[in-house]
Amino acid sequence: MIRMDYLAIVALAAVTFGCSSVQRPVEPDIVEVTLPVPADRVKAAVTKILQDDDYEVDWKEGSQLQTGYRNEQPSIFDWLVTGRYGVVRSRAEASVASETAQSSRLRLQVASEGKQTFFDSWGPTPTQVPQSAGNKLRLIKNELKIVQTTYTTDTFYGGKQ
């Protein structure tokens, strides 16, 4: 008959090894694409999209952009939301280079950090969908009018095409 001591040790080992895992490092969200638009128009579209999303935009060396953390809209309930659900902040980096007179290369990188409570430290976290590089690229393409169909609520729900 199995003694209870051995059973407790086996159960403790199963719980310990079953709950431990190696955390994978979270990589920044990166998108690289060639756009059929001159570089100055791409820079203007990137600037507009990031400023509309409350990033402070400052181009360095004419083609490099590194923003600070995205400004959140303050609320009187920030303490409650931060304390209960945590908070995520993100920043963006972009570079635009001319390939030809009518095309340019865009590299957009979005990195996010988050914490669960007020007393936790910031750590890398997966980028939220509204701030993701793929979503920013979609908005930039919409701004440049280089998509086949512009995404709107009507087209999403099957209305106008």
Task: Identify the CATH number of the domain in which residue 63 sits.
Answer: 3.30.530.50
Count of structural domains within the chain:
1
Chain segment 66-110, per-residue pLDDT in tens:
898 887 766 777 766 666 667 888 999 999 999 999 999 999 999
Chain segment 36-56, per-residue pLDDT in tens:
999 999 999 999 999 999 899
| DSSP-assigned beta bridge partners for residue 106 | 33, 96
Would residue 4 count as lying in a domain? no
pTM of the model: 0.73
How far CA 157 is from CA of 43, 145, 152, 160, in Å, comes to 31, 21, 9, 9
Chain segment 12-29, per-residue pLDDT in tens:
666 666 555 556 678 889
* Domain range enclosing 73: 27-152
Would residue 18 count as lying in a domain? no
